[in-house]
Structure 1
Amino acid sequence: MIRPIGLSASGLALMLLLPQAVLADSDLPPWSERALTEDVDLDALAASEEDPIAVLQPLGEKLFKAKFTTLDGAGRPDATGAIVPTKVRRKSHLAFQRLAGMDANACASCHNEPVTGGAGAFTANVFVSEGFESADFDTIDPQFSNERNTNAIQGAGLIELLAREMTADLRSQRQAVLTKARASGQPETVALETKGVAFGTLTAGPDGTLDVSGIEGIDDDLTLRPFSQKGVFTSLRQFTVNAMNDHHGMQASERFGADWTGSDDFDGDGHTDELSPGQISALVAWQATLAAPTRKQDLPDIWQTAAKEGETLFGEIGCASCHIPALPLESLTFQDPGPFDTAGTLRQSDVGMPLSYDLGTLDWVKALPRDAEGRVLVPLFGDLKRHKIADAKNDTFGNELLAQRFVARDVFITAELWGIGSTAPYGHRGDLTTLDEVILAHGGEAAGSRKAYAALGENERQSIIAFLRSLEIAE
């Protein structure tokens, strides 16, 4: 029996999702194979006194684990997996297609190691392309797509909050240099830096023009996009809307609905408005509140000693210049939709009031260290910046042939290392079996650190491995 969840005393917040083809919930048999049975009225929830985390988290977990069926609208016979709604040029006769998709019917079928929301084995790899070409290709030739391993999403809410603050800071610096150039009547240059991470330089002319040629590791609009291995998704919401279509053929109305495509069944599978804004919000809430990775407890003395030495060496050989141990976070308030969600994703202007989650109420957040200013120190071992990590001498990470969202094929966002002890195999393709292999695969901007690592003695290298293997996703 389908039931509404989390109703407040006033009856606000939640209601059943019942597409036109479905009768009242009492008419559905208890063995129904539908996965989508509940929805959230976002405006009612925002106006109520309900804790949005308590309301949305359980539904988000249920949706993340759900195995979507054709009764829910799984499949996209007329649409590609592209982030921009795109019709297929020739249809596949296959319902599931491991290469061009749809390639899964549950989020948890790939994000499952060592826990739900975690990483995935090589067998769960996906093939990423912009999806503008045929949806029917049956080769792993890299000229058609880039093969990617599954990222873990633990701690993703804090990652997005860091990116939001850094974006706002960089844009404030842009405005300041524009104001300075207008006042001085001559070009002015600012060194872009936020939370200790440098993003090159920006020059403003007195006429309001901007020279963006000196910007490094971020798009020219100064928006940090912390999600995906290339760093091309701004928010968990954007990531979720895209993944639901790409991997499951489940299309969110906020991108694929009539307002943007002129159709409420863009993928032509006979199901309209397959995912509501409320259901996307539930998925976002669950991901945003996943506990951040931590460190292994109760290690034997020999491991503790080695890990402590390894962490010191990790910094000394330069790895921590990109894999920064911790970044400070000012605010723990997570709004959904977020301030940088744009067209094709529900925006703050589309709702009466965005939902607001206080991540500071979560026990695992309370346990995180703080600096002298009271800011939470997010122990991500990353910098949210893109880097070139391949070169002619070491092209292991330069094996992709297709650029993604205009990011060069040998450029990737710094992988956050928290939890790396739980997420083997390694590398963006998941084809490196040991941490030693993945460190030695670094080239480009990381070549110096890789050479320094390679020059260490065996015991010193093993201590770095001991340190990295102590960073885990708790089970």
Structure 2
Amino acid sequence: MKIISTISLIGIGLVFPPLLHADLVGEGPRLNPEDRITQDQISTGELSLKEIRKAGLLIFSTPFNRHDGYGDGAHDTSEPDNHSPEAGNRPTLQGNRIFLRVNGLDSQNCLECHTIVSNRTVPATLGIGGGGGFSTSAMFRPVNIDVIDESFDGHAEYDGRLINPLFLFGAGGIELVGREMTHELQGLKQYALDNPGTIVNLDTKSVNFGSIVADGSGNLDTSNVEGIDVDLIVRPFGRKGDNASVREFDVTALAFHLGMQAAEGFGGEYADADNDGVTNEISIGDLSALSIFITTLDRPFELDSKKHRQGRNLFTDIGCADCHRPTMVTERRTLPYKLTGSPEKPFEDTFYEVDLTKHPTYFQPIFNGGVEVPMFSDLKRHDMGEELAESAFFFDEQQKREFITARLWGVADTAPYLHDGRALTLVEAILLHDNPGSEASAAAQNFKNLSEEKQNKILNFLMSLRMPENPVGDLIEYR
């Protein structure tokens, strides 16, 4: 296999060396083509779950190079940069075509930003699928960033999003909960359409998303919908709750951070949307393997003792559990997988499924056939107040202030906290919930009004929510 390509910077006069023959030592794709699996191998059951997970681990952790399709193509000065990975036409630092840091092209693989399993230990405990520290925070879609403080006011003006990377453990249970919630909400939507004039409360898994009512012409009044988009699709992934599945999230993340475009989201296997001379950079099979790997990562766990249970009860009493729901319960035990698209039909057109009660996820089964997902979230967006609002120019004022409820499982190990990592301790995170307009102000004030003894009981409880030990240990071969 040989890949030969000359890449130039149009309008700048710089020319990259050609991509050399792949049979030269060190040249060629970093991801071995023999290690990639196909969609047919997955959907027909030819491969074991472990084999699929291994293939997904390689997509997750391989430091891609230009032969793999890493980065954007030659910058085209005739086409405007629209600050999105879809363009494949981003400026890069010194015109290197591989790195900008702000607005993507900021890493070579997923592992660079998902490495810290515990920041509670010193040194940090590292592992595949963890979160990230300050230095790996994504700077999403800014046009301006005043790093030299031209106004000399100590405030670096910034009009994008700053996103501290979350850990990925337990994602399979989260996705299953979200899909079941969507399925039920779509049923309520249909009920409203079938019964014009009837106010239908959008309740699913004890979470209320407002209400809808239909008129006799099939039009829905969604003005009372809250904490979710008006399409009534639960999107549990992303700080803003904007991705319905891990697969959907991966398509954008791979393109934004790495310039690795998934055929499924960028025109098919023969398309070259970023104009870098490489097609099918992430195949449908690659994307399936990656999403199955992430959704079968181990889950966080909770230490149990009398001391911790007392703190858990206080956590509920002061109102924290109103949004940080300790446990969600599913009706199914298996997570089905489907291609991107039609998220309003979460259980149709699936090609594979995994039993979440078995290795490697081991979610606790319940009597009615489902599983417990103790993530401490309601998967609903809430107004967190003006002091936590983002400055992103592409959001309206409400969107800037809203975030999906953070999942607290594993919180003992995952400092820094909040969407941009501004809280270095749990106490800071709790107190920052109390600011003008925040839906969480009352709970934060209740915490402040507790005695120090009771505050410590809650903090000890939160410190019992731990990250998994030795994640993906069964897949790693040390040498």
TM-score by length of 1: 0.82
Name the counterpart of 1:377: 372
Is residue 2:36 matched to residue 1:39?
Answer: yes
Question: For 1:362, which of 343, 358, 361 is the aligned residue?
Answer: 358
Query: How much does 1:158 deviate?
Result: 1.1
Name the counterpart of 1:231: 241
User: Which region of structure 1 is more displaced relative to structure 2, 69-78 or 356-365?
Assistant: 356-365
Q: What SS does the corresponding residue of 1:198 show, helix, strand or coil?
A: strand
One-letter identity of the residue aligned with 2:430:
I
Matches within 5 A, 1:14-29: 28=23
The percent identity for this pair of structures is 32
Matches within 5 A, 1:8-407: 28=23, 31=26, 34-37=29-32, 38-51=35-48, 53-77=49-73, 78=75, 85-86=86-87, 88=89, 93-94=95-96, 95-114=98-117, 115-129=127-141, 141=156, 143-181=158-196, 187-257=197-267, 264-296=271-303, 304-337=305-338, 341=342, 354-360=350-356, 362-363=358-359, 365-366=361-362, 368-370=364-366, 372-391=367-386, 395=387, 397-403=388-394
Name the counterpart of 1:463: 457
User: Which region of structure 1 is more displaced relative to structure 2, 167-176 or 141-150?
Assistant: 141-150
How far apart in 2 are the matches of 1:239 and 1:83?
A: 15
Name the counterpart of 2:15: none
Question: For 1:446, which of 417, 440, 450 is the aligned residue?
Answer: 440
Contact residue 311 and residue 461 of structure 2 kept, 8 A: yes
How far apart in 1 are the matches of 2:451 and 2:106?
A: 44
How far apart in 1 are the matches of 2:208 and 2:187?
A: 15
Query: How much does 1:146 deviate?
Result: 1.0
How far apart in 2 are the matches of 1:113 and 1:273?
A: 31
Query: How much does 1:405 deviate?
Result: 9.4
**Cα deviations by residue, 1:25-57 (Å, 9 ceiling, x for unpaired):** xx8467556322232221243224543x23310
Contact residue 235 and residue 341 of structure 1 kept, 8 A: no
Contact residue 214 and residue 220 of structure 2 kept, 8 A: yes
How far apart in 1 are the matches of 2:212 and 2:452?
A: 43
One-letter identity of the residue aligned with 1:333:
T
Query: How much does 1:120 deviate?
Result: 0.7
Q: What SS does the corresponding residue of 2:439 show, helix, strand or coil?
A: helix
One-letter identity of the residue aligned with 2:140:
V
How far apart in 2 are the matches of 1:402 and 1:86?
A: 19
Query: How much does 1:137 deviate?
Result: 9.7
User: Which region of structure 1 is more displaced relative to structure 2, 143-152 or 38-47?
Assistant: 38-47
How far apart in 2 are the matches of 1:289 and 1:147?
A: 28
One-letter identity of the residue aligned with 1:67:
P
Query: How much does 1:416 deviate?
Result: 0.6
Q: What SS does the corresponding residue of 1:191 show, helix, strand or coil?
A: strand
CA distance 1:42–1:138, change in 2 (3 Å) = farther
How far apart in 1 are the matches of 2:115 and 2:392?
A: 28
One-letter identity of the residue aligned with 2:416:
P
Contact residue 185 and residue 202 of structure 2 kept, 8 A: yes
**Cα deviations by residue, 1:313-335 (Å, 9 ceiling, x for unpaired):** 10000000100010111113223
Query: How much does 1:85 deviate?
Result: 2.2
How far apart in 1 are the matches of 2:195 and 2:355?
A: 37
CA distance 1:406–1:220, change in 2 (3 Å) = farther
How far apart in 2 are the matches of 1:342 and 1:401?
A: 26
Query: How much does 1:255 deviate?
Result: 1.7
How far apart in 2 are the matches of 1:19 and 1:243?
A: 28
CA distance 1:430–1:91, change in 2 (3 Å) = closer
How far apart in 2 are the matches of 1:137 and 1:247?
A: 22
**Cα deviations by residue, 1:416-445 (Å, 9 ceiling, x for unpaired):** 101111111111111211000000111411
Name the counterpart of 2:427: 436
**Cα deviations by residue, 1:149-190 (Å, 9 ceiling, x for unpaired):** 011110111111111110010010010111111xxxxx2211
CA distance 1:378–1:65, change in 2 (3 Å) = same
The count of corresponding residues between Structure 1 and Structure 2 is 426
Q: What SS does the corresponding residue of 1:147 show, helix, strand or coil?
A: strand
CA distance 1:57–1:435, change in 2 (3 Å) = same
CA distance 1:275–1:142, change in 2 (3 Å) = farther
CA distance 1:207–1:44, change in 2 (3 Å) = same
Name the counterpart of 2:14: none
How far apart in 2 are the matches of 1:90 and 1:233?
A: 27
CA distance 1:84–1:213, change in 2 (3 Å) = farther
Query: How much does 1:404 deviate?
Result: 5.0
One-letter identity of the residue aligned with 2:212:
L
Cα RMSD, aligned residues only: 3.0
User: Which region of structure 1 is more displaced relative to structure 2, 53-62 or 236-245?
Assistant: 53-62
How far apart in 1 are the matches of 2:82 and 2:108?
A: 14
Contact residue 83 and residue 90 of structure 2 kept, 8 A: no
Name the counterpart of 2:467: 473
**Cα deviations by residue, 1:331-379 (Å, 9 ceiling, x for unpaired):** 1322322585569xxx999xxx743122235235445152x43321110
One-letter identity of the residue aligned with 2:356:
G
Unaligned runs of 5+ in 1: 1-17, 182-186, 298-303
**Larger helix share, 1 or 2:** 1
How far apart in 1 are the matches of 2:424 and 2:41?
A: 49
Q: What SS does the corresponding residue of 2:247 show, helix, strand or coil?
A: helix
Contact residue 46 and residue 354 of structure 1 kept, 8 A: no
